[in-house]
Structure 1
Amino acid sequence: MARIVLLVLPLLAALCLAEPSVFFKEEFADGDAWKERWLQSKHKSDYGQLKLTAGKFYGDEEKDKGLQTSQDAKFFAHSAGFPAFSNKDKTLVVQFSVKHEQNIDCGGGYVKLFPSTLDRADMHGESEYNIMFGPDICGPPTKKVHVIFNYKGKNLQINKDIRCKDDVYSHLYTLIVRPDNTYEVKIDNSKVESGNLEDDWDFLPPKKIKDPEAKKPDDWDERPKIDDPEDKKPEDWDKAEHIPDPDALKPDDWDEEMDGEWEPPVITNPEYKGEWKPRQIDNPDYKGKWVHPEIDNPEYTPDPTLYSYEDFGALGFDLWQVKSGTIFDNILITDDEKFAEEHATNTWGVTKEGEKKMKEQQDEEERKKQEEEEKKRKEQEPPEEVDDDDDDDDDEEEEKEKEDEEEEESEGPQKDEL
C-alpha cells in the first residue's frame, strides 16, 4: 500500500505543477520582427496597412505597442500562424486587448481563429473560420461583442446581446470555451456573460416541437369574460351625441337671401350616454388559453462536442474600419483560465491606469491651449466701430447747444435795459 502511495504522490504533484499550454502569444515586444510573423493577404490589392505603435497615449511606450490600423475606409487582412492544435477535451481561452483611440464610429475590433488549412496569403471575408470573437461598433445601434462559432459550415451568432466598450481606452476581451459545453465572456477581466453553448446558439434543432397532429378543439373557449345575456339596453339610452344649442338666437342682421337659412350652432348633448355595452360576467365555459402540446423532435440529436474543433492554426484580423486607429495587443490563446487572467493582470493591467492618466493630461493641456488661443483671438480683434446713428445724435446735441448760447447772448442786453 505504501508503495502505491509513493507512486501516486509524484504523479499528482506533476499534474499540479503542469505548465499551461500556450498555443499563441503575441505582445509585439520585438520591434519590427512582427512583420515576419504577420502576413498581409494578397486577395485584394488595396487592403489597409498596419503599423507598430503605442498610440497617442499609453501607460508604457514599449509595453503598450501593438498593431494599429493606419488608413481610413479600408479593409484589413493580416494573420499569424502557429502550430496546429485541437481543443478536444480542453478548455480554450482566447484573449486580447483593443484600444479604439480614434473614438471609432464604425468598424470591427474582433479576431478570427482559423484552421491550419487557411491559405493566409489569400485570406478574405469569405474564408472559413472556427471562431470569431470581439467588439464591433457602427453608430449607436451597433455596439456589441461578437461570439460566432462555425458549426457544420454555418456561422452561428450568439443569441444574447453583449455590449462592448466604446471609449478610447484599452480594454481586454476574453472568451472561455469549456469541454462541458459551457462558455464565459469577460471584459477587463470581469465576467459579463456566461451560459451553455446549446442554449445560447442555434447549433441544434430544438429538443421539443409542437405536435403536428394536435389541433385546438372547435369548442375550446378562451374567453375569460363574456357579455351578460340578462343585461338589456335601457329604452331611453339612445340619445344624439350633438344637438342644436337651445339658447342660440338668430342674429338680427341675418339675411336669409344673402346668408342662407339660419341654423343654430351644435353643442354636446348633456343626455348623451355613449355606445351601450352589456356588462361583463365570468365565462362559465372558459377553459383557459389552449397550449399546443409538444413532442420530442425526431430531428434533434445531442452533441457533447459542440465546443470542440479538430484544428486551429491561425489568428487573423479580417475587418473593415471607416476611421482607423485601433490598436490590438496582448493576444493569447491558451488552455488555462488562471494563466490567462494572470497574463492580463501583468500586461493590460499594469499599464491601463497610466494610459488613462496620460490621456487626461493631454485633454487638460488641449483645453488650456484652446482657451489661450481664444483669448489671443479676442485681443487681436479690431475695436468695434461707433454707430453712425450715435454720431448724428451727437451733432444734433452740439448744434442745439450752440443755438442756446446764441439766444442767451441776444437776450442779455435787453435784460440790462430793463
Structure 2
Amino acid sequence: MAPQPKHKNIVQILTPVVLFSFFSSSLAEIFFEERFEDGWQSRWVSSDWKRNEGKAGSFKHTAVKWPGDPDDKGDDCFRHFAISAKIPEFSNKNRTLVLQYSIRLEQDIECGGDYIKLLSGFVNQKKFGGDTPYSLMLGPDICGSQTKKLHVILSYQGQNYPIKKDLQCETDKLTHFYTFILRPDATYSVLIDGRERDSGSMYTDWEILPSCKIKAVDAKKPADWDDREYIEDPNEVKPEGYDSIQREILDPKAKELDNWDEEEDGIWRPPKVPNPAYKGPWKRKKIKNPNYKGKWKIPWIDNPEFEDDPDLYVLKPIKYVGIEIWQVKGGSIYDNILLCDDPAYAKQVVDEVFANREPEKEAFEEAEKVRKAKEEEDAQRAREEGEKRRRERDYDRRHRDRDCYRDRYKRHRRGYSDDDYHVS
C-alpha cells in the first residue's frame, strides 16, 4: 500500500436540510443549482488529475464538525481535487450572470485555494484540472498570514485576466458565501455573505482592453494658467516708519550696579532687549487669488489604441461547472452552488441558509472550547510527564554520584596501611 500523506486535506460537500422557497425565483432563470442532495454523484464527474502523481483526492460522505444543522454531511479528499458537472449550455449575452457558492474552512489552512470555475467548449471531465481553460474563476486563496486573496479571474479571447483590486477573503472556520454578479453593461459586484464587498467596471478593473482615456503626456501648462491659490494683497500699504523700528532697544528697566566704577569699568550703558514693537520684515497679507484656476493637471484624452467591444462582458457559452482545489493541509466544505440571472434569488439563498447561522456559531464555539480544553489537558500531561522524567533523571544522577563517590573512597582507603597512622 502506498504511504499516506502526513496531513490529509478535507474537501466536503454538504447535504443541506433547508428547503428553499421558489416563489421569489419565478422570474429568475436558474442555469444550475447544486445543494448536494441524494443523487448528486450522478451529476458530477471526478477527475483523474494528479492521480499518477499520487496527489489526487477522492470524495467520501462524512459528517461535518460543527453543523448548524445536525444532518449536514460531506465528502473529503487531500492534496489536489477536481470535479465537474455538465450543464445545459447557456450564454450570458444580454442578461445578468450570478455565480455563487458557500464554503467553510474547518481546518487551519496553511496554504490552499478553493475555486469554482465556469467552463466552455468541450471538456474531458476525467482530465479536468488546474490547467484546463475556463471562462470564469471565483474563490479564496490563502497562504500563511500574508495571502488572503479572493480571486475573480475572467477569460477574454483565450487569455486569463485577474481583477486588479486586492479583494480579501474570509479566513475563519464558519460558512461564508462568495457571489460574483456580472451585468450586460460590464459592471460587476462582489458580495460576501450577501453584502457587497466591492463593485466597478470591467473596463477599469481588469486589464482586458486598453484604457479608453490616457494622459496627454506632451501637454504643457498654458502660459496664462494661474495656479496660485493665495496672493499678496496688492492694496495693502506698508505703515509709515515701519522700517525704522529697531530689532532691539535699551532695557528701560535696567539699573546701574552699585559697585560700578566708570574709571575701571567705563561708562555704564543699559543692556539691549528685544523690541516688542518690532514685527520683522514687512510683508503684505495673503488673500484668495481671484484668478486661481486650481492645480494644473495633465489632461486625459481619448486613447487612439482603444477599440470598444460591446460584448466585453459576454463569456463563451457555459457548459460545465467545476470545483478545483489544492491544499497543503486543511479542510473545506462546499455547498449551495448557484448559477442564475437573478441577484435577488441569490440573496434569498444566502438568507435562508444563514437561518442556521447562530446554531453553527454556537456549535463552533462549543467545539473550540472542547479543542482548547483538550490542548490544555495534553499540555498539562506533557508538563507532568516532563517533570516526572526530570525527577527520575535527578534520582538516577544522585545515586550514580553516590556510588561513584563510594568507589573513589574505597580506592583511596586501600592506598594507606595502619603504619601510616602510627605516632611514636
Same-fold call, TM > 0.5? yes
Q: Aligned residue for 2:85? A: 80
Q: How many Å separate the matches in 1 of 2:31 and 2:342?
A: 11
Is 1:124 equivalent to 2:129 in the alignment?
A: yes
Q: How many Å separate the matches in 2 of 1:293 and 1:376?
A: 71
Q: Aligned residue for 2:183? A: 178
Q: Is the 8 A contact 1:135 1:145 kept in 2?
A: yes
C-alpha deviation, 1:88, in angstroms: 0.8
Pairs aligned (count): 310
C-alpha deviation, 1:329, in angstroms: 0.9
AA of the residue aligned to 1:27:
R
C-alpha deviation, 1:125, in angstroms: 2.4
Equivalent of 2:47 in 40, 52, 55: 40
Is 1:115 equivalent to 2:120 in the alignment?
A: yes
Q: Aligned residue for 2:65? A: 56
Equivalent of 2:29 in 21, 31, 46: 21
C-alpha deviation, 1:375, in angstroms: 6.1
AA of the residue aligned to 1:143:
K
1:369-394 Cα offsets, whole Å, 9 max, x none, are 45556666777866967998xxxxxx
Q: Is the 8 A contact 1:43 1:122 kept in 2?
A: no
2:209 alignment partner, SS class: coil
Q: Aligned residue for 2:264? A: none
The gaps in structure 2 that reach 5 residues or longer are: 1-23, 228-293, 399-424
Q: Is the 8 A contact 2:148 2:169 kept in 1?
A: yes
Q: How many Å separate the matches in 2 of 1:17 and 1:107?
A: 34
C-alpha deviation, 1:333, in angstroms: 0.5
Q: How many Å separate the matches in 1 of 2:125 and 2:83?
A: 8
C-alpha deviation, 1:317, in angstroms: 2.0
311 and 365 in structure 1: CA distance in 2 versus 1, 3 angstrom threshold: same
Q: How many Å separate the matches in 2 of 1:378 and 1:321?
A: 33
Q: How many Å separate the matches in 1 of 2:373 and 2:157?
A: 58
AA of the residue aligned to 2:30:
V
48 and 298 in structure 1: CA distance in 2 versus 1, 3 angstrom threshold: same
- Trace 1:243-262 onto structure 2 (pairs within 5 A): none
379 and 317 in structure 1: CA distance in 2 versus 1, 3 angstrom threshold: closer
Q: How many Å separate the matches in 2 of 1:377 and 1:303?
A: 66
Q: Is the 8 A contact 1:209 1:294 kept in 2?
A: yes
- Trace 1:128-143 onto structure 2 (pairs within 5 A): 128-143=133-148
Is 1:317 equivalent to 2:326 in the alignment?
A: no
1:264-284 Cα offsets, whole Å, 9 max, x none, are xxxxxxxxxxxxxxxxxxxxx
Q: Is the 8 A contact 2:194 2:347 kept in 1?
A: yes
Root-mean-square deviation (CA, aligned residues, Å) is 3.7
Q: How many Å separate the matches in 1 of 2:372 and 2:317?
A: 52
AA of the residue aligned to 1:170:
T
Q: Is the 8 A contact 1:27 1:66 kept in 2?
A: no
Q: How many Å separate the matches in 2 of 1:359 and 1:156?
A: 37
1:109 alignment partner, SS class: strand
C-alpha deviation, 1:201, in angstroms: 1.2
2:153 alignment partner, SS class: strand
Q: How many Å separate the matches in 2 of 1:368 and 1:294?
A: 62
The gaps in structure 1 that reach 5 residues or longer are: 1-15, 223-287, 389-418
Q: Is the 8 A contact 1:42 1:122 kept in 2?
A: yes
375 and 197 in structure 1: CA distance in 2 versus 1, 3 angstrom threshold: closer
53 and 345 in structure 1: CA distance in 2 versus 1, 3 angstrom threshold: farther
Q: How many Å separate the matches in 2 of 1:19 and 1:323?
A: 42
Is 1:145 equivalent to 2:150 in the alignment?
A: yes
Equivalent of 1:365 in 370, 393, 404: 370
- Trace 1:392-403 onto structure 2 (pairs within 5 A): none
Q: Is the 8 A contact 1:39 1:80 kept in 2?
A: no
2:348 alignment partner, SS class: helix
Q: Is the 8 A contact 1:26 1:330 kept in 2?
A: yes
1:73-120 Cα offsets, whole Å, 9 max, x none, are x22221111111001111111111111111111110121111142222
Q: How many Å separate the matches in 1 of 2:26 and 2:136?
A: 27
Is 1:298 equivalent to 2:304 in the alignment?
A: yes
C-alpha deviation, 1:307, in angstroms: 1.6
Is 1:351 equivalent to 2:360 in the alignment?
A: no
372 and 117 in structure 1: CA distance in 2 versus 1, 3 angstrom threshold: closer
2:344 alignment partner, SS class: helix
43 and 343 in structure 1: CA distance in 2 versus 1, 3 angstrom threshold: same
Provide the TM-score with structure 2 as the length reference.
0.63
67 and 205 in structure 1: CA distance in 2 versus 1, 3 angstrom threshold: farther
1:110 alignment partner, SS class: strand
1:175-196 Cα offsets, whole Å, 9 max, x none, are 1111121111111111111112
C-alpha deviation, 1:319, in angstroms: 3.2
